[in-house]
Structure 1
Amino acid sequence: MANKEKQAENKEKIGIGAWLALIVLILVLSGAFRTAEGPIKVLDFTNLAGSFGQIGDTGANLIGKGGTGAKDGFMAGFNLIPAVMFFCGLLGVFEQLGAFKASDILFRPLLRPLLGIPGKCGIAFISSFTGSDVAAVMTRELYEDGEITDDERTIFVAYQYAGSACINNTITGGAPLVAICPVALGPCIVIMFVCKLIGANIVRLILRAKRGKA
């Protein structure tokens, strides 16, 4: 009875503001406005995070050009810190606006049958298409807050890091291959998405089989 009252209370708190916050957050993380022009480009997380030290058309930045070895890897990781810190602050704002509660309702019918994870993973699920670092931060916070179990975290991580950030990496890293690829960009991304789902569900079956033996 207490659980039903608590669920009813949570549902009452989800108003139009929470749904609007969820829509804005999904747009910000989806990458839909990454190449937009004008003020609307602020609806993209990459544009909000900004860039640092670019030099003309060479694209050189804090990481530099032509680096190898441990130093290059350290600078690449160091370059992610400002964006991750900014994203943690952004998450705090949208959490207070009720975006996470709305995402639980919206994504529960999708994520529970597809991956066996709760709807609260929905925002991380969307962000994983364009950035693995942001999705990783969200997944860790969901686990530490007790929103997902260890098995659910394992399944979700298996989904995320196979073909990590498939949309962003396909468009950027795979751009030279697009011209010679006999298949359009859209079907390539769909194939990667399906394979990610298959891989995550294989892990899901393995974990279920282990629980059965235990």
Structure 2
Amino acid sequence: MSEEKERQAANEWKVGPVAFISLLVAILFFSGLFMKIDGMKWLSAFDFTTLGGTFGTMKEPAKNTFLGAGGVSAKAGFLFALSLVPTVMLALGCLEIFSHYGAIRAAHKLLTPFLKPLLGIPGLTGLALITDLQSTDAGAALSKELYDQKQITKKELVIMGAWQYSGAGLINNYFAIGSALFAALTAPVIIPLVLMFVLKFVGALFVRFVLNVVYKEDFRNEQ
């Protein structure tokens, strides 16, 4: 019986060419690389953010809110949260397709040698981390699904949350909001982006250290 279970486990994580292709497509889809390419605007049709859509311009902010002028409290919060549902549903639906073709297995095989020693998390979390660079909501939803399916432990989830929380939606926010300050930068535009990306790992490493030293008893019974 034990040999049979080991054989089934090995087959479950077996990776073929289709899985690697699926992973590559998933990375390109969630990374934002297709969002704005000069002379090839049609590629944005294969980008997650483009498919998720954007809000229109508010010419009269005092009136053009969810509830009109004076909308406050729980109603406004609920409607804002409701507006996030299509993006999250799109992300989860796409993940199911990529997972069917083996993207998670390929990510696990390729990224585990890097993520496991560095952050203590398996490579299958790679897609959720990549997605977070473009969409905070979709990244969080994918992380929750991994935890609900018991593919990651609570400790790994906390470390992932630390990585995602620091500079969440990094690429999207940097180029959409930070672009207003590009003219004032004295360094190349790419340098602050790379620095923030590196500091995401620094923050996650710090949280991993705290969990292993200060709160290690809380996770002693986790598998």
Q: Deviations over 1:22-43 (max 9, x none)?
A: 1111110000011244542222
Equivalences for 1:133-172 in 2 at 5 Å? 133-172=137-176
Q: Which runs of 4+ in 1 moved over 6 A?
A: 64-68
Q: CA deviation at 1:68?
A: 7.2
Q: CA deviation at 1:63?
A: 5.7
| Residue in structure 2 matched with residue 49 of structure 1 by the alignment | 52
User: Equivalents in 1 of 2:169, 2:145: separation in Å?
Assistant: 19
The answer on whether the counterparts of 1:159 and 1:199 sit within 8 Å (CA) in structure 2 is yes
| Residue in structure 2 matched with residue 40 of structure 1 by the alignment | 43
TM-score normalised by length of structure 1: 0.85
Secondary structure at the residue paired with 1:80? helix
Secondary structure at the residue paired with 2:196? helix
The answer on whether the counterparts of 2:35 and 2:43 sit within 8 Å (CA) in structure 1 is no
The answer on whether the counterparts of 1:63 and 1:79 sit within 8 Å (CA) in structure 2 is no
Q: Deviations over 1:99-152 (max 9, x none)?
A: 111111111112112211001101011111111111100100111111111111
Q: Deviations over 1:70-121 (max 9, x none)?
A: 4654443222111111222111111111111111111111211221100110
The alpha-carbon distance between structure 1 residues 187 and 96, as it changes in their structure 2 partners (threshold 3 A), is same
Equivalences for 1:83-122 in 2 at 5 Å? 83-122=87-126
Unmatched segments (≥5 aa) in structure 2: none
User: Equivalents in 2 of 1:161, 1:168: separation in Å?
Assistant: 14
User: Equivalents in 2 of 1:160, 1:150: separation in Å?
Assistant: 15
Secondary structure at the residue paired with 2:158? helix
The answer on whether the counterparts of 2:167 and 2:196 sit within 8 Å (CA) in structure 1 is yes
The answer on whether the counterparts of 1:62 and 1:75 sit within 8 Å (CA) in structure 2 is no
TM-score normalised by length of structure 2: 0.82
Q: Deviations over 1:15-59 (max 9, x none)?
A: 22211111111110000011244542222011222346x36x96x
Q: CA deviation at 1:201?
A: 1.1
The answer on whether the counterparts of 1:155 and 1:203 sit within 8 Å (CA) in structure 2 is yes
Opposite residue 10 of structure 2, the aligned amino acid is A
Unmatched segments (≥5 aa) in structure 1: none
The answer on whether the counterparts of 2:49 and 2:134 sit within 8 Å (CA) in structure 1 is no
The alpha-carbon distance between structure 1 residues 51 and 172, as it changes in their structure 2 partners (threshold 3 A), is closer
| Residue in structure 1 matched with residue 28 of structure 2 by the alignment | 27
Aligned residues: 210
User: Equivalents in 1 of 2:31, 2:127: separation in Å?
Assistant: 10
Q: Does 1:17 align with 2:18?
A: yes
User: Equivalents in 1 of 2:211, 2:139: separation in Å?
Assistant: 22
Alpha-carbon RMSD across the aligned residues, in angstroms, is: 2.8
Among all aligned residue pairs of Structure 1 and Structure 2, give the percentage whose two residues are the same amino acid: 35
User: Equivalents in 2 of 1:67, 1:188: separation in Å?
Assistant: 38
